[in-house]
């Protein structure tokens, strides 16, 4: 999604993409970086008790669902 957003700034006669598109893209990149960190440090993660692993997984889901809900509320108000 980064390529179309940057392209909309430099190569489009239309106005650039709205701020929420940039925020969504940034959230996606941060999420991907967190996933890569989890892969890199997977042995340490797997050494944690199952309850702590579950808490991390639930927290990750809640962050993603919460970000989606916030985005929907913001877009509904526009």
What 3-state DSSP class applies to 12?
A: coil
Q: What is the mean pLDDT of residues 7-36?
A: 84
| Phi, psi dihedral angles at 2 (to 5 degrees) | -65, -40
H helices present in 1-78, as ranges: 2-10, 19-40, 42-47, 50-76
pTM: 0.77
- The encoded tokens of residue 40 equal 């890199």
In this predicted model, what pLDDT tens digit does every residue of 54-72 receive, in sequence order? Answer: 999 999 999 999 999 999 9
């Amino acid at each position: 999604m980064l390529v179309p957003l940057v392209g909309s700034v430099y190569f489009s006669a239309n106005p650039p993409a709205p701020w929420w598109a940039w925020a969504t893209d940034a959230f996606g990149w941060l999420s991907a970086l967190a996933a890569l960190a989890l892969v890199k440090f997977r042995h340490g993660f797997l050494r944690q008790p199952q309850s702590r692993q579950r808490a991390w997984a639930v927290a990750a889901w809640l962050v993603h669902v919460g970000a989606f809900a916030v985005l929907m509320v913001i877009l509904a108000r526009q």
